[in-house]
Amino acid sequence: MASSDVVRQMVRMRSMFSRFGVFCPFCGCVKFGTVGDKNARPLALSGHVGFDSLPDQLVNKSTSQGFCFNILCIGETGIGKSTLMDTLFNTNFENFESSHFEPKVKLRAQTYQHIVDYIDTQFESYLQEELKIKRSLHNYHDSRIHACLYFIAPSGHSLKSLDLVTMKKLDSKVNIIPVIAKADTISKSELHKFKIKIMSELVSNGVQIYQFPIDDETVAKINTAMNVSSDAHAEINYKKQQEKGFICAVFTFNNPKGSSSVRCGREYGGVENENHCDFVKLREMLICVNMEDLREQTHTRHYELYRRCKLEEMGFKDTDPECKPVSLQQTYEAKRQEFLGELQRREEEMRQTFVQRVKEKEAELKDAERELQGKFEQLKRLHADEKSKLEEKRKSLEEEMSAFSKRKAATELLQAQSFNASTNNKKDKDRKK
Site residues (vs ligand GDP, CB under 6 A) = 75, 77-83, 182, 184-185, 253-255, 258-259
262-270 contacts at long range (C-beta below 8 A, 24 or more positions apart): 263/184, 263/185, 264/184, 264/185, 264/186, 264/187, 264/188, 265/187, 266/187, 266/188, 268/184
21 vs 75, which CB is nearer to ligand GDP? 75
We find the least distance from the C-beta atom of residue 83 to ligand GDP, in angstroms, to be: 3
Q: Is 126 helix (H, G, I), strand (E, B) or coil?
A: helix
Chain-centre distance for alpha carbon 347: 32
We find the least distance from the C-beta atom of residue 74 to ligand GDP, in angstroms, to be: 10
Residues 6+ apart with CB under 8 A from 63: 6
Q: Which helix (H) or strand (E) holds 179?
A: strand 176-180
119 vs 186, which CB is nearer to ligand GDP? 186
**Which residue is nearest to ligand GDP, using beta carbons?**
258
Beta bridge partners of 176: 148
123 vs 268, which CB is nearer to ligand GDP? 268
We find the least distance from the C-beta atom of residue 147 to ligand GDP, in angstroms, to be: 17
217-221-224-226 Cα dihedral, nearest 10 degrees: -130
We find the least distance from the C-beta atom of residue 285 to ligand GDP, in angstroms, to be: 18
We find the least distance from the C-beta atom of residue 295 to ligand GDP, in angstroms, to be: 25
* Pairing, β 147-152 against β 176-180: parallel
Tell me the DSSP string of 247-315.
----EE---TTTS-SEETTEE---TT-TTT-SHHHHHIIIIIISHHHHHHHIIIIIIHHHHHHHHHHTT
We find the least distance from the C-beta atom of residue 163 to ligand GDP, in angstroms, to be: 15
**Eight-state DSSP code of residue 338:** H
We find the least distance from the C-beta atom of residue 85 to ligand GDP, in angstroms, to be: 8
Asked whether the beta carbons of 217 and 15 are under 8 A apart, the reply is: yes
We find the least distance from the C-beta atom of residue 279 to ligand GDP, in angstroms, to be: 9
We find the least distance from the C-beta atom of residue 276 to ligand GDP, in angstroms, to be: 10
User: Which residue in 143, 146, 148 sits closest to 122, CA to CA?
Assistant: 143
Q: Which helix (H) or strand (E) holds 415?
A: helix 328-432
Backbone angles phi, psi at 280, to 5 degrees: -65, -40
80 vs 178, which CB is nearer to ligand GDP? 80
HSE value, Cβ hemisphere, 13 Å, CA-based, for 386: 6
Report the C-alpha gap between 327 and 341 in whole angstroms. Answer: 21
213 vs 256, which CB is nearer to ligand GDP? 256
